[in-house]
């Protein structure tokens, strides 16, 4: 839950609330690295330092020069949902409707002549804040940071303009691996950190929990989207990767919500705050879970290639051989070969006349260039190569089901296929956790409430005497409906469990060992 | 003591209505409580009703209205009447229907002007 100013909670529960919201857009995407956030005791009132959306955050998106379009705001909505049941990457989206009576957002090709029209193009940074006005002051907290996804949609008849935006996950979705690379023995957070660094993110722009999984081997193949790699890694340990309301990218491992403050109820919802409560239909029910994984593990140096037949090298020429391996290769030694004047190897040994001119290694292949330095045709009659492959040494498979749920709803299967899942124990636990959460219809609800904009993903709330965890929030602000949120909540058996924490829990106490 | 629209004195209306225009959404919760979310400040609306007005007085108001339409800019509205003062407030103008009560050369008319706070 985000921190809120004094008086916020009382105003939020008041029967009459005064809603405030703001939208700022960097139409010209002007980046100014010298922009500094206002610091009490350092910055001067009336000076050039800007107010950050949250104190202490000094991310790059804060350094764009924004134009405040709040006075044209007519309605807006934004949505953020974690990926259930397995976790992974989650992207937030937003839509903002602006009054365009003045033609401010009308592009030139539609007859516009405002100073903005040359800048009304997609991929513009955008910020949404919202909150309440009380004691004569607009109190707002961050709600969304992202970039517009397309050119604003303008309707001349209605004098409106619509902006649509993604958070920065949208940026990751469009970045591909240019050069294949491999890694061994890294935790999920280290791999994600390396990817974000590679893509130009500063450490202030992300916050990564320690990964629970240590990946023995991973391969980024050319053309793969970075977001797909991160999604697989995060999903393998049932974590979440998303961007929060303040623009910070977060990797949260599966134990993230089991420790304070996430194991404490953040808000108690009274029925005087709730407008609608819906039990979703049984479509979310999962009562059979299959987990399949073929993890790769690096091997000791071993024979990885043996030449079959012979290769003929004409006198004084170069000869190229391409070799494909069955598995990704962490290292490949130089080839060991024998050359002879005859193809059956019964002639004179001319190995010393054949030199290894070039040896180019790829993830799953290599290219060898030999030079025949003699004046006669030579034959490579024998060649072997040693290297360290990453092999699939074991196939993990588990299939669990909840018999009582199957009896009631028939089989509702769910399959997880992820080669970053490393152990049979975790595969079993993962499957069991999904069954615990999703095999019964009463574990999920969707409620519409008078907005509590400080709520965040994973917050624990109390509703009708039970504790629920938030995994999705859709917020809308409009003069016709008000300031409302539709919140997706999950009642986990583990919501009230306190897990063992070294240095805090006591041996023999009631704290449980986390999955 | 006068009514001033866009810094021009206009004839005092025969009757004048003032109303409030607040933008809010009302929700009813499961408990039955009715709540309201308000958006923006309350805005006032004035309706100036004129009956049997000389052409010259209408023209004064109509000129301001036409200027408002052509520029698209809200104009100032001020009342300095003894017991009804309005400090300078930007308003939008509506001048929709003009009914002629006397024809001939006078063309005396009746109409209403609606001023909405910007």
Average pLDDT over chain A, rounded to whole?
88
Q: Does the distance separating the beta carbons of B31 and A19 come in below 8 Å?
A: no
Sign of the C-alpha dihedral computed for residues A343, A349, A353 and A359 taken in this order: positive
Interface-testing mutation among B25, B31, B37, with chain A (most A C-beta atoms within 10 A): B37
Tens digits of residue pLDDT in A249-273:
999 999 999 888 998 999 999 999 9
Residue A37 is given by DSSP the state B
Asked if residue A126 lies in contact with residue A97, where contact means CB atoms within 8 angstroms, the answer is: no
Which of B25, B33, B72 lies at the smallest CB-CB distance from A480? B25
A499 has a pLDDT exceeding 80: no
CA torsion, ordered A192, A194, A195, A201, to nearest 10 deg: 100
Q: Does the distance separating the beta carbons of B30 and A271 come in below 8 Å?
A: yes
- Select from A217, A225, A227, A220 the least CA-distant residue to A181: A220
Nearest 5 degrees, angle CA A405-CA A409-CA A414?
75
Q: Is A325 exposed, middle or buried (0-12, 13-18, 19+ CB in 10 A)?
A: middle
Report the pLDDT value the prediction gives residue A107, as an integer from 0 to 100: 80
Is B68 or A443 the better-scoring residue by pLDDT? B68
Q: What is the pTM of this model?
A: 0.84
Q: Is A276 near chain B, with CB under 8 Å? A: yes
Which of A16, A274, A480 lies at the smallest CB-CB distance from B36? A16
Asked if residue A138 lies in contact with residue A123, where contact means CB atoms within 8 angstroms, the answer is: no
A468's tokens? 């629920």
Q: Does the distance separating the beta carbons of B72 and A271 come in below 8 Å?
A: no
Give A481's contacts in chain B (Cβ within 8 Å).
25, 27
- Write out A218-243 in H/E/C secondary structure: EEECCCCEHHHHHHHHHHHCCCEEEE
Give A12's contacts in chain B (Cβ within 8 Å).
none
d(CA B38, CA A14) in angstroms, rounded, equals 12
A95's tokens? 């839509």
**Which residues make Cβ contacts (< 8 Å) with residue B66, sequence separation at least 6?**
none
Asked if residue B13 lies in contact with residue B3, where contact means CB atoms within 8 angstroms, the answer is: yes
**A16 vs chain B: nearest CA distance in angstroms?**
5
Is A40 or A340 the better-scoring residue by pLDDT? A340
Report the pLDDT value the prediction gives residue A324, as an integer from 0 to 100: 94
d(CA A296, CA A219) in angstroms, rounded, equals 10
Asked if residue A488 lies in contact with residue A503, where contact means CB atoms within 8 angstroms, the answer is: no
- Per-residue pLDDT, averaged over B81-102, amounts to 93
B37 has a pLDDT exceeding 50: yes
Contacts made by residues A134-140, CB under 8 angstroms, sequence distance 24+: A134/A7, A134/A8, A134/A11, A134/A18, A135/A7, A138/A20, A139/A4, A139/A5, A139/A7, A139/A8, A139/A11, A139/A20, A140/A20, A140/A21, A140/A22
A329 has a pLDDT exceeding 70: yes
Q: Is A480 near chain B, with CB under 8 Å? A: yes
Q: Is A4 near chain B, with CB under 8 Å? A: no
**B10 vs chain A: nearest CA distance in angstroms?**
28
Q: Does the distance separating the beta carbons of B39 and A19 come in below 8 Å?
A: yes
CATH architecture of the domain formed by B3-117 = Beta Barrel (2.40)
Inter-chain Cβ pairs, chain A and chain B, closer than 8 A: 58
- Select from A458, A415, A409 the least CA-distant residue to A262: A458
Tens digits of residue pLDDT in A46-72:
454 544 444 333 356 777 888 999 999
Q: Does the distance separating the beta carbons of A482 and B37 come in below 8 Å?
A: yes
- The neighbour count for residue A334, using CB atoms within 10 Å, is 10
A458's tokens? 């994973």
Interface-testing mutation among B27, B31, B69, B74, with chain A (most A C-beta atoms within 10 A): B27
Report the DSSP pairing between strands A302-306 and A137-148.
unpaired
């Amino acid at each position: 839950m985000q921190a809120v100013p004094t008086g916020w909670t009382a105003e939020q529960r008041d029967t009459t609330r005064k809603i405030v919201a703001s939208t700022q857009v960097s139409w010209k995407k002007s980046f100014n690295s010298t922009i500094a956030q206002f610091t009490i005791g350092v910055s001067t009132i009336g000076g050039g330092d800007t107010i950050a959306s949250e104190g202490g955050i000094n991310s790059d998106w804060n350094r764009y020069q924004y134009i405040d379009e709040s006075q044209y705001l007519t309605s807006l909505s934004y949505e953020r949902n974690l990926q259930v049941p397995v976790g992974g990457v989650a992207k937030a989206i937003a839509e903002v409707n602006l009054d365009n009576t003045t033609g401010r957002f009308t592009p030139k090709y539609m007859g516009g002549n405002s100073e903005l029209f040359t800048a009304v193009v997609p991929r513009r940074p955008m910020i949404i804040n919202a909150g309440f006005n009380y004691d004569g002051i607009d109190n707002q907290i961050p709600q969304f940071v992202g970039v517009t996804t397309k050119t604003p949609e303008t309707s001349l008849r209605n004098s409106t303009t619509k902006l649509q935006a993604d958070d920065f996950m949208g940026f990751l979705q469009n970045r591909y691996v240019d050069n294949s690379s491999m890694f061994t023995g890294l935790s999920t957070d280290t791999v994600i950190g390396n990817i974000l660094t590679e893509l130009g993110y500063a450490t202030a722009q992300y916050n990564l929990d320690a990964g629970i999984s240590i990946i023995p081997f991973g391969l980024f193949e050319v053309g793969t989207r970075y977001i797909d790699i991160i999604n697989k890694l995060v999903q393998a340990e049932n974590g979440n990767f998303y961007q929060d309301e303040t623009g910070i990218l977060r990797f949260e491992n599966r134990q993230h919500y089991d420790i304070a403050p996430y194991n404490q109820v953040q808000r108690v919802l009274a029925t005087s705050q709730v407008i609608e409560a819906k039990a979703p239909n049984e479509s979310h029910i999962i009562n059979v879970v299959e987990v399949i994984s073929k993890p790769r593990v690096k091997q000791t140096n071993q024979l990885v290639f043996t030449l079959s037949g012979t290769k003929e090298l004409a006198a004084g020429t170069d000869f190229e051989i391409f070799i494909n391996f069955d598995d990704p290769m962490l290292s490949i030694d130089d080839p060991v070969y024998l050359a002879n004047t005859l193809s059956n190897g019964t002639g004179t040994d001319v190995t010393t006349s054949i030199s290894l001119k070039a040896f180019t290694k790829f993830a799953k292949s290599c290219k060898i260039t030999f030079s025949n330095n003699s004046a006669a045709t030579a034959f490579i009659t024998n060649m072997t190569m040693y290297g360290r492959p990453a092999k699939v040494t074991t196939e993990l498979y588990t299939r669990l089901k909840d018999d009582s749920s199957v009896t009631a709803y028939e089989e509702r299967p769910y399959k997880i296929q992820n080669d970053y899942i490393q152990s049979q124990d975790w595969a079993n636990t993962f499957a069991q956790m999904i069954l615990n959460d999703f095999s019964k219809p009463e574990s999920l609800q969707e409620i519409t409430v008078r907005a509590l904009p400080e709520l965040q993903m994973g917050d624990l709330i109390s509703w009708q005497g039970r504790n629920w965890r938030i995994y999705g929030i859709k917020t809308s602000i409009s003069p016709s409906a008000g300031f409302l949120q539709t919140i997706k909540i999950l009642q986990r058996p583990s919501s009230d469990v306190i897990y063992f924490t070294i240095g805090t829990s006591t041996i023999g106490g009631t704290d449980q060992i986390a999955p | 003591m006068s009514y001033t629209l866009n810094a021009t004195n206009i004839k005092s209306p025969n009757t004048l209505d003032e109303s409030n225009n607040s933008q809010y959404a009302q929700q009813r919760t499961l408990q039955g409580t009715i709540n309201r979310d308000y958006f923006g400040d309350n805005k006032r609306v004035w309706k100036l009703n004129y009956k049997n007005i000389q052409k010259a007085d209408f023209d004064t108001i109509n000129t301001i209205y036409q200027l408002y339409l052509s520029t698209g800019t809200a104009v100032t509205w001020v009342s300095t009447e003894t017991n009804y003062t309005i400090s300078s407030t930007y308003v939008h103008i509506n001048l929709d229907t003009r009914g002629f009560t006397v024809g001939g050369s006078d063309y005396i008319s009746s109409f209403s002007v609606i001023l909405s706070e910007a």
